A and B are shown apart, each in its own frame.
Chain A
Amino acid sequence: MTRATLHDDPTLLVHAYLDGELDPVNALAVEQRLASDPNLAAEYERIEALQRLVHEQLPRETPPGDLRARIEAAVRPRHARLQPSWRSLAASIVATAFVASGATFLVLAPQPRDAVETAIVADHIRALMAPQPADVATSDRHTVKPWFNGKIPQAPRVIDLAKNDFPLVGGRLDVVGTNPVPTLVYRHAKHIISLTAVPAPGSANAGATRHAVDGYNIVRWTEDGVAYWAISDMSAADLDKFAELFRTTPPDQ
Chain B
Amino acid sequence: MNVVSIHFDRGLAYTKRRSSDRPWAGSRPQEAPERGGDALKGDDENILFASLVLPHLADAYSLARWLTGNRADAEDVVQDACLRAFRAIGSFAGGNSRGWVLAVVRHSAYAWLRKNRPAAVVNVEDLEAVESTQAKPGDPDSDTPETALIAKTDAARLSAAIFELPAPFRETLVLRDVQGLDYREIAEVTGVPMGTVMSRLARARRRLVATLGRAEP
Tell me the A residues contacting B by CB distance below 8 Å: 1-2, 5-7, 9, 11-13, 15-16, 19-23, 25-26, 29, 38-39, 42-43, 45-47, 49-55, 57-64, 67-68, 70-72, 74-77, 80-81, 86-87, 90-91, 93-98, 100-111, 113, 118, 121-122, 125-126, 129-131, 212-217, 233, 235-236
Evaluate contact between A49 and B147: CB separation under 8 angstroms. Answer: yes
Residue B144 is within 8 A (CB to CB) of chain A in the complex: yes
Nearest 7 Cβ contacts at the A-B interface: A1-B195, A102-B107, A122-B8, A214-B13, A61-B62, A1-B14, A63-B61
Q: Mark B173-207, 1 if CB is under 8 A from A, else 0.
A: 00011100011000011010111101101100100
CB contacts (< 8 Å) of B2 on chain A: these are 7, 29
Residue B42 is within 8 A (CB to CB) of chain A in the complex: yes
CB contacts (< 8 Å) of A1 on chain B: these are 14-16, 193-196, 198-199
CB contacts (< 8 Å) of A39 on chain B: these are 138, 140
Evaluate contact between B191 and A104: CB separation under 8 angstroms. Answer: yes
Q: How far is the CB of A123 from chain B (nearest CB, A)?
A: 8
- Main secondary structure on B side of the interface with A: helix
CB contacts (< 8 Å) of B87 on chain A: these are 90, 93-94, 97
* Interface size classification for chain B: 35 or more
Within the assembled complex, what's the spacing in Å between the Cα atoms of A87 and B103? 23
CB contacts (< 8 Å) of B49 on chain A: these are 75
Evaluate contact between B92 and A106: CB separation under 8 angstroms. Answer: yes
Within the assembled complex, what's the spacing in Å between the Cα atoms of A98 and B165? 29
CB contacts (< 8 Å) of A75 on chain B: these are 45-46, 49, 82-83, 86
CB contacts (< 8 Å) of B158 on chain A: these are 53-54, 57-58
Q: How far is the CB of B56 from chain A (nearest CB, A)?
A: 11
Evaluate contact between B5 and A87: CB separation under 8 angstroms. Answer: no
13 contacts between A and B (CB under 8 A): A2-B195, A19-B182, A21-B12, A46-B144, A47-B209, A50-B205, A75-B83, A98-B31, A102-B103, A102-B106, A105-B103, A109-B96, A215-B24
Evaluate contact between B151 and A233: CB separation under 8 angstroms. Answer: no
Given A19, A68, A106, which contacts B57 in the complex, CB threshold below 8 Å?
A68
